[in-house]
A and B are shown apart, each in its own frame.
Chain A
Amino acid sequence: MDLLGLTIKDIEESLKKGVFSCQELVKESFSTIKKHDKKINAFLTLNEEQALKQANHYDNLIKKDKNIFDEKPLLGIPVALKDLFTTKDIRTTAGSKIIGDYNPPFDATVVKKLIDAGAIIIGKTNEDAWGHGSSGENTDYEVTRNPYDLNRVPGGSSSGSGAAVAYGGVLVGTGTDTGSSVRLPAGFCNLVGLKPTYGRVSRYGIIAMASSFDSIGHMTRTVYDNAKVLEVTAGVDPFDSTTVPIKVDQYTKKLGQSIKGMKIGLPKEYFVKGLDDKVSNSIKNSLKILEKLGATVKEVSLPHTDYAMAAYYILVPSEVSSNLSRYDGIRYGGSREMFGAEAKRRIMLGSYTLSSGYYDAYYLKAAKVRTLIKRDFENAFKEVDVLIVPTSPTLPFKIGEKVDDPLQMYLSDIFLCPVNLAGIPGLNVQSGFVDGFPVGMQIIGPQFSEELLYKVAYLFEQETQYYKIRPKFKNG
């Protein structure tokens, strides 16, 4: 069995035909993990015993009724959950030592949905602690490595989920995207990564980073797989007041449809200084392919782009400092001294921007700039259907390169965080490879336009087939 060669569709067919069983699938998953994870550090907790039990149970269900896949569209699919996802009776750490032994008494809504759809939880993945980071280096545990080059970062904060899917340990790695955290690892690891519209997927049970930014997404190797998972995770949740009661589309249905006449916008402010030439060229080539597929490309403007990061780094730490207030060591976890440096920085920055005397100049001002940024996108979408921008201004950087300069680290999110400010969806697809490193391309659309993003991504993916390229574990 070659997990890196399988998709969700392949697995469903194989299970139905009896080519292999769920148990064999899950065993292969754990064996792959055991082979690579000592070096890659994608996982913090493995759920082997329960996973095998579940797989056995599903094998019995399949024997009884092959139509079970209608009820359980992800039946048997090995899934890894970012360690911000609360899982009942499975240790949940948020990548931090402070709750390193936290054992939740409940499941997050999304976890319940995945389990009800038949997915098998393989384990919990490593991440920048609390979601604070763009490289994976802010974990309180061992740093996750990029399977394409172990001296490079896999991107963060959902670093473990990205690496685990990239090296074939699982088919799906979930994540949260507050400023970059699903799209960037997807970009650095040759994956399809979705940051859904804020409010599309329930946040209940997902350890909060920035409450008005956190979008619950996931990474897969192919567009179809990604769309299939969204069909399961999306939807309004009575436990989350910020989920929107909009119908969940059948995201896989329109894949393969033509994108002739589709208007793609290139925000001119994104193609300026700081953008690596190699990245820029890769995107330009990809745009030519999209034009060949029938789309037209035109320049648009997002005039407040320059201010997005500043607004982001006021609003997010403000909400972070608030959301981390509950960790007082009384009901769970250890004392606040155990917070890592980045967490402490953000708590302090956020306390500062919310404090009396500074609230107006910082928080309130940033919230107003946020309105302007959202408006920029709305105006752009009056002229075009989607926007395409690079996922990262640089190629995957070396471990240790940016870790001592927090501001430099923050700037790696520069193309990604405006999307979170506006609450709109962004999908990373592979744009190409440069010097052996994955280069990601972000497709951005208006609120609740995931179906459209998948359409564009699918045709591009089928044309370029980058998902077939495998990590080489360079320097491993």
Chain B
Amino acid sequence: MDKKYQPIIGMETHVELKTKSGMFCGCKNDPDAKKPNIHTCPVCLGLPGALPVANKKAIEWTIKLGLALGCKINKLSKFDRKHYFYPDLPKGYQISQYDMPFCYQGKVETSFGPVRITRVHLEEDTGKLIHQNINGHNVSLIDFNRSGVPLVEVVTEPDIFSSVQAKEYAKKLRQIIRYLDISDCDMEKGGMRLEANISLLNVKSQMTNNKSNSKFKLPNYKVELKNINSFRFLERGIEYEIERQREILESGKTPIQETRGYNAEKNITFTQRTKEEAADYRYFPDPDLPPINISEKWLNEIKSTLPEPFDGLFKRWQEKYNLKPELVELLFETAEESKKLEELFKKCIKEKLSVEKFVNAMVHKKIKTIEEFKKMTNIDEVSDDDLKVIIEKILKVNPKAVADYKAGKINTINFLVGMVMREAKKKIEFQRLQDLIKSFL
């Protein structure tokens, strides 16, 4: 692989919060609504005269996420209006945050290095467009159920340097958000939307090679890759883009600064019309929404609802139960679930079962309870007395093995254990059987 060009990637991720109601109105927040336009009101429909009132929980969850990403929290924050015209944007502006977001300057660790989080802010979602052809005409149909749903945006610095790292970052971000249980991050339903800004840096013409220190000069263009709804597409889309840009740069030209989409079928990126040419969003503070003070008291209240951070949790489980993070992390998503899981671990210990094996079984055999685990390993299925009957039988019909064992061939015990198990037609704890048989010999 050509080392001349270094991909420089920043990511923007939009996440729908799973609040019960809208960001600025009391309409139900229901991503599974069965019919269109059943959860709209004057506010989220942008009717004349409607006014927004901010959802406190949405703000608290945004701050919670910021804290979990190691961000600083602004003491004073506000909402701003972001103007552009599009059929799914009822007011002709989106209530968002411009220069005073709730959270800023955080960090997510990846195996390739840290990815700095520039900001985490809160805004409202738009309606949904459905494209159809009706009677020979191409039309777009608009469903405003989603309009006004709280949307969190997480923006990174251009600290991502490969498609693999981008995927790892996106997955980790999702894991953190799911852990906090503030969103279902259902990518197919649009609950989590990925965007990547991609450019290539000509490293040969740069003075420094320190990757995670942004002292290098950023490329003079960037291409925005939008509307990616799977990690696999993210990786592939970025790979395609890197190659496409490399070819252009090699030919002596500069890639056009534009927005592109990803076509999964053809595995290519393609030009999309942008919403506003050189988007002038004319941000100004929304006069309908008073500013927000994040007091010490409120911030501490929010902090107290934070679950144990992943690093601490995994470290603890590794030390206590000898669990590998990569394995156990497959068993839970939310903090609630992690707590329930820990309850099971404690139960295992109580019943003298191996937590490690239990976790293995949960991962590989998809079992969920201790009862299932026990059943699987069949530990209590046979009583000692019943076993003794079988052992006596086996020992009687295998005199040579018995003699061998008594003569010092210790490994013969395995053979005998196997025979007993076969006879019993059940799986029995190896150690237990061994001990029992030995007691006969």
Does B298 touch A at the CB level, under 8 Å? no
Given contacts A86-B48, A325-B92, contact A106 B81 (CB under 8 A): no
Whole-angstrom distance between the alpha carbons of A458 and B254 in the complex? 75
User: How many A residues face the partner with a CB closer than 8 A?
Assistant: 42
Does A247 touch B at the CB level, under 8 Å? no
Contact with B along A54-94 (1 / 0, CB 8 A): 00000000000000000000000000000010100000101
Task: Tell me whether B91 and A241 are in contact (CB under 8 A).
Answer: no
Stretch at the interface among A139-147, A199-207, A273-281: A199-207
Task: Tell me whether A331 and B45 are in contact (CB under 8 A).
Answer: yes
Interface size class of B (residues with CB under 8 A): 20 to 34
Stretch at the interface among B49-57, B107-115, B171-179, B228-236: B49-57
Q: Is the interface of A mostly helix, strand, loop or mixed?
A: loop
Does A211 touch B at the CB level, under 8 Å? yes
Contact with A along B35-77 (1 / 0, CB 8 A): 0000000100111111111100000000000000000000000
Whole-angstrom distance between the alpha carbons of A190 and B87 in the complex? 46
Q: Is the interface of B mostly helix, strand, loop or mixed?
A: loop
Given contacts A105-B42, A238-B53, A325-B83, contact A332 B290 (CB under 8 A): no
Whole-angstrom distance between the alpha carbons of A99 and B48 in the complex? 10
Does B287 touch A at the CB level, under 8 Å? yes
A residues less than 8 Å from B87 (CB atoms): 328, 330
Which of B45, B51, B81, B85 lies in contact with A240, CB distance below 8 A? Answer: B51
Pick the most buried of A94, A203, A208, A210: most chain B CB atoms within 10 A of its CB.
A208
Does A104 touch B at the CB level, under 8 Å? yes
Task: Tell me whether B92 and A211 are in contact (CB under 8 A).
Answer: no
Given contacts A106-B42, A355-B282, A363-B284, contact A328 B54 (CB under 8 A): no
Contact with A along B160-196 (1 / 0, CB 8 A): 0000000000000000000000000000000000000
A residues less than 8 Å from B47 (CB atoms): 86, 104-106, 331-332
Nearest 10 interchain pairs by C-beta: A325-B92, A212-B287, A354-B282, A211-B287, A205-B49, A207-B48, A86-B49, A326-B91, A326-B46, A356-B280
Task: Tell me whether B52 and A241 are in contact (CB under 8 A).
Answer: yes
Task: Tell me whether B49 and A241 are in contact (CB under 8 A).
Answer: no
Does B90 touch A at the CB level, under 8 Å? yes
Contact with B along A204-241 (1 / 0, CB 8 A): 11111011100000000000000000000000001111
Whole-angstrom distance between the alpha carbons of A326 and B290 in the complex? 21
B residues less than 8 Å from A105 (CB atoms): 42, 47
Whole-angstrom distance between the alpha carbons of A311 and B280 in the complex? 22
Task: Tell me whether A203 and B48 are in contact (CB under 8 A).
Answer: no
Which of B49, B54, B85 lies in contact with A207, CB distance below 8 A? Answer: B49
Count how many pairs of residues, one from A and one from B, have CB atoms less than 8 Å apart in the complex. 96
B residues with a Cβ closer than 8 A to A are 42, 45-54, 81, 83, 85, 87, 90-93, 142, 280, 282-284, 286-290
A residues less than 8 Å from B142 (CB atoms): 330
In the assembled complex, how far is the CB of residue A172 from the closest CB belonging to chain B, in whole angstroms?
20
Q: Write 16 A-B pairs (CB below 8 A) sorted by A numbering.
A: A84-B49, A104-B48, A106-B47, A204-B50, A204-B51, A240-B53, A241-B53, A241-B54, A242-B288, A322-B83, A325-B83, A327-B92, A330-B142, A331-B47, A355-B282, A356-B280
Does A351 touch B at the CB level, under 8 Å? yes
Whole-angstrom distance between the alpha carbons of A321 and B81 in the complex? 12
Whole-angstrom distance between the alpha carbons of A360 and B87 in the complex? 30
Whole-angstrom distance between the alpha carbons of A204 and B41 in the complex? 13
Whole-angstrom distance between the alpha carbons of A86 and B48 in the complex? 8
Task: Tell me whether B48 and A94 are in contact (CB under 8 A).
Answer: yes
Given contacts A94-B48, A204-B50, A241-B51, 13 further A-B contacts (CB under 8 A): A84-B49, A86-B49, A92-B48, A99-B48, A105-B42, A207-B49, A241-B54, A241-B289, A324-B92, A326-B48, A331-B47, A351-B282, A363-B284
In the assembled complex, how far is the CB of residue A322 from the closest CB belonging to chain B, in whole angstroms?
6
Given contacts A105-B42, A322-B83, A325-B92, contact A239 B284 (CB under 8 A): no
Pick the most buried of A239, A318, A321, A332: most chain B CB atoms within 10 A of its CB.
A239
- Nearest B-chain residue to A336, judged by Cβ: B85
Task: Tell me whether A318 and B284 are in contact (CB under 8 A).
Answer: yes
Does A319 touch B at the CB level, under 8 Å? yes
Task: Tell me whether B280 and A355 are in contact (CB under 8 A).
Answer: yes
Whole-angstrom distance between the alpha carbons of A104 and B282 in the complex? 29
Pick the most buried of B85, B90, B92, B289: most chain A CB atoms within 10 A of its CB.
B92
Given contacts A207-B48, A351-B282, contact A322 B290 (CB under 8 A): no
Does A108 touch B at the CB level, under 8 Å? yes
In the assembled complex, how far is the CB of residue A369 from the closest CB belonging to chain B, in whole angstroms?
15
Does A102 touch B at the CB level, under 8 Å? yes
Does A271 touch B at the CB level, under 8 Å? no
Whole-angstrom distance between the alpha carbons of A108 and B47 in the complex? 11
Task: Tell me whether A331 and B50 are in contact (CB under 8 A).
Answer: no
A residues less than 8 Å from B83 (CB atoms): 322, 325, 354
Task: Tell me whether A102 and B48 are in contact (CB under 8 A).
Answer: yes
Whole-angstrom distance between the alpha carbons of A355 and B85 in the complex? 15
In the assembled complex, how far is the CB of residue B178 from the closest CB belonging to chain A, in whole angstroms?
32
B residues less than 8 Å from A207 (CB atoms): 48-49
Task: Tell me whether B48 and A359 are in contact (CB under 8 A).
Answer: no
B residues less than 8 Å from A332 (CB atoms): 47-48
In the assembled complex, how far is the CB of residue B31 from the closest CB belonging to chain A, in whole angstroms?
22
A residues less than 8 Å from B51 (CB atoms): 203-204, 208, 239-242
In the assembled complex, how far is the CB of residue B43 from the closest CB belonging to chain A, in whole angstroms?
8
- Nearest A-chain residue to B87, judged by Cβ: A330
A residues less than 8 Å from B92 (CB atoms): 322, 324-328
Whole-angstrom distance between the alpha carbons of A359 and B42 in the complex? 30
Task: Tell me whether A206 and B49 are in contact (CB under 8 A).
Answer: yes
Whole-angstrom distance between the alpha carbons of A24 and B83 in the complex? 51
Whole-angstrom distance between the alpha carbons of A325 and B290 in the complex? 21
In the assembled complex, how far is the CB of residue A387 from the closest CB belonging to chain B, in whole angstroms?
25
A residues less than 8 Å from B91 (CB atoms): 325-326
Task: Tell me whether B90 and A331 are in contact (CB under 8 A).
Answer: yes
Whole-angstrom distance between the alpha carbons of A203 and B53 in the complex? 13
A residues less than 8 Å from B54 (CB atoms): 241
B residues less than 8 Å from A102 (CB atoms): 48
A residues less than 8 Å from B93 (CB atoms): 322, 325
Task: Tell me whether B49 and A204 are in contact (CB under 8 A).
Answer: yes
- Nearest B-chain residue to A92, judged by Cβ: B48
Whole-angstrom distance between the alpha carbons of A332 and B87 in the complex? 12
